Amino acid sequence: MSHPIRKMRNILRLALTDYFYEWQMSSCFILALAAVLAPMMILFALKFGIIGSMMEQLIEDPRNREIRPVGSGHYDPAWFSTVRAKPEVAFVIPRTRSLAATLQLKSDSAPRIIPAELIPTAEGEPLFHKNIAIPTGLRQIVLSESAARKLKVGVGDRVDGSLNRRHNGQRERVHVELTVVGITRLAAFARDGAFVPLDLIIATEDFLDGRAVPQLGWQGDPPLAGERSFPGFRLYASAIEHVAALRDGLAASGIEARTRAADIDIVQTMEQRLSAVFWFVAIIGLSGFSLSLGANLWANVDRKKRELSVLRLVGFRTSDIVWFPVLQALLTGVLGWLLASLIYLGVETSINRMLSGQAGVDSPICRLLPIHFEIALLFTVGAAVLAAALGGFRAARIQPSDGLREI
């Protein structure tokens, strides 16, 4: 066995023997460490979980990216292509007059006729989940959850859409058979509604205005000549932070629009304040943690000064002596972290079980990522080893005879 390996083995053996022989003292150090670390982890997990899910909600909810015009205007296709070209715009589509955008829906499985709001949609619809098909043509439809429930239909089923008008003094009613290609979740649209291609909405508006819709075989006056303009639009920014700029841009061109900016502001301010509170508490906690760990390990080295001096008396080198407290602190750090992690995981489970459902959020209130555990371990071991090494150097610097003669 070569010399350095034998030496390291001797040091390791002696340090561990001491650590486990003094198991009561060692357990106290581990407990003391865990008692400070575990609450820090819980605090951070709560901050991370609560703010994280709030931010997630904020970012994920497309309604927070919507910019709605107030009143009606005249928006022609040229305006739409200009707006669509802006990089901050994720989605824009014309809206027809809202009175004209209603369709009576009926299915074979439900007795009632449901009047549904028609919402124009197209590729890139921000309110849809990725797995919902975009309706195309004139005969496809995506129902809101409440409409689908009342009609008792599912994806693939057919529903009958009908419209009536008074035209030249006569009541007229037309039907169009529609295939349900998707159903949106409640959060996307809470009322009875149907997402349909813009062409179908234009067709209903034309019909209600007394004109003919040849594609659907509906009779009436000849189609509108010239370019069609729309009274409104559905506009979504590509990200939350672009909402305010887009709204201001519209306002500059004389279009008053409404956004959820106030809500966003509230959440963002709250995030900042919660973060500030957290960091305030965290810095106090971390200082306390480092100090208590450092003081414990420092005092421990002091307590063992005589034993360390005995080791120097029998010929351990100064550099070897430092290894004793460092190895023991390393062990305390790792075991303390392990215990704190176990305590944390227990608390996490009970907090999440207690609060799940109440917050109305899918993501847990209290959570840590693996990287957070790793950072905690690194920080703990780093602080422990540093404190022990400083204490060890101090013990090694004094003359061995001084350490021996004390007491």
Partner 1 sequence: MLIYHLRDVVMTRMAEGVEFRLTVPSLQISLGEKIALIGHSGCGKSTLLDILAMILRPTGVGAFRFRPEKESPPVDVAKAWAQRDLNFMGDLRKHRIGYVMQTGGLLPYLTVRDNINLSRQLLGMPEDGSVEALAKNLGIERHLDKHPELLSTGERQRVAIGRALAHHPSIVIADEPTASLDPIAARKIMALFVELVEEMQITVIIASHDWDHIKQLGLRRLAHRTSQNRAGTVTETKVTG
Which residues contact partner 1 (rule: CB under 8 A)?
1, 3, 6-7, 10, 14, 17-18, 21-22, 306-307, 310-319, 399-401, 404-405, 407
> Nearest Cα to 77, choosing from 92, 62, 61?
92
**In angstroms, what is the minimal distance from the CB of 17 to partner 1?**
5
Question: Taking the complex as a whole, how short is the minimal distance between the CB of residue 1 and partner 1, in angstroms?
Answer: 7
Nearer to partner 1, 347 or 398 (CB): 398
User: CA-to-CA distance for 174 and 165, rounded, in angstroms?
Assistant: 9
What is the bridge-based pairing of β-strands 170-183 and 193-197? unpaired
Buried b (16+ CB within 10 A) or exposed e, 60-73: ebbebbbbbbeeee
CB of 76 within 8 A of CB of 67? no
Written as one string, the DSSP assignment of 174-240 is EEEEEEEEEE--TTT--SSEEEEEHHHHHHHHHHHTTB-BGGGTB--BPPPPS---BSEEEEEESSG
Tell the smallest beta-carbon distance from residue 3 to partner 1 (Å): 8
Closest distance between partner 1 and the C-beta of residue 41, in Å?
Answer: 32
- Tell me the residue type at 355: L
Q: Name the residue nearer to partner 1 (CB basis): 1 or 262.
A: 1
Nearer to partner 1 by Cβ, of 37 and 321: the residue is 321
The tokens describing 369, both together, are 């990522």
Give yes or no for a contact between 64 and 260, defined as CB atoms under 8 angstroms apart. yes
Residue 185 structure tokens? 């979740």
Between 81 and 399, CB nearer to partner 1: 399
Helix (H/G/I), strand (E/B), else coil: 157: coil
Give alpha helix (H) positions in 198-260. 198-208, 243-252
By C-beta, is 215 or 399 nearer to partner 1?
399
Structure tokens at 251: 């306002």
Q: Which residue, 162 or 399, has its beta carbon nearer to partner 1?
A: 399
How far apart are CB 386 and partner 1 at their closest, in Å?
A: 23
Q: Is 35 exposed, middle or buried (0-12, 13-18, 19+ CB in 10 A)?
A: middle
Q: What is the dihedral of CA 203, 205, 209, 213, to 10 degrees?
A: 0
| CB contact at 8 A, 194 and 117 | yes
Nearer CB in complex with partner 1: 10/72: 10
Least distance to partner 1 from the beta carbon of 399, Å? 6
Identity of the residue, 345 or 389, whose beta carbon is nearer to partner 1 in the bound complex:
389
Q: In this complex, which beta carbon is closest to partner 1, that of residue 52 or of residue 400? A: 400
403 burial via Cβ count (<10 Å: 0-12, 13-18, 19+): buried
Nearer to partner 1, 149 or 306 (CB): 306
Helix residue spans in 107-192 (DSSP H): 145-151
Radius of gyration of the chain (CA): 35
Alpha-carbon gap, residue 288 to 44, rounded angstroms: 16
Question: Nearer to partner 1 by C-beta: 7 or 63?
Answer: 7
CB of 297 to partner 1, least distance (A): 18
**Minimum CB distance to partner 1, residue 387 (Å):** 22
Q: Which tokens is 209 given?
A: 């205005």
Return all residues near 220 (Cβ < 8 A) that are at least 6 apart: 167, 206, 207, 210, 211, 212, 213
Minimum separation from the CB atom of position 16 to partner 1 (A):
10
The dihedral of CA 199, 202, 206, 207: what is its sign?
positive
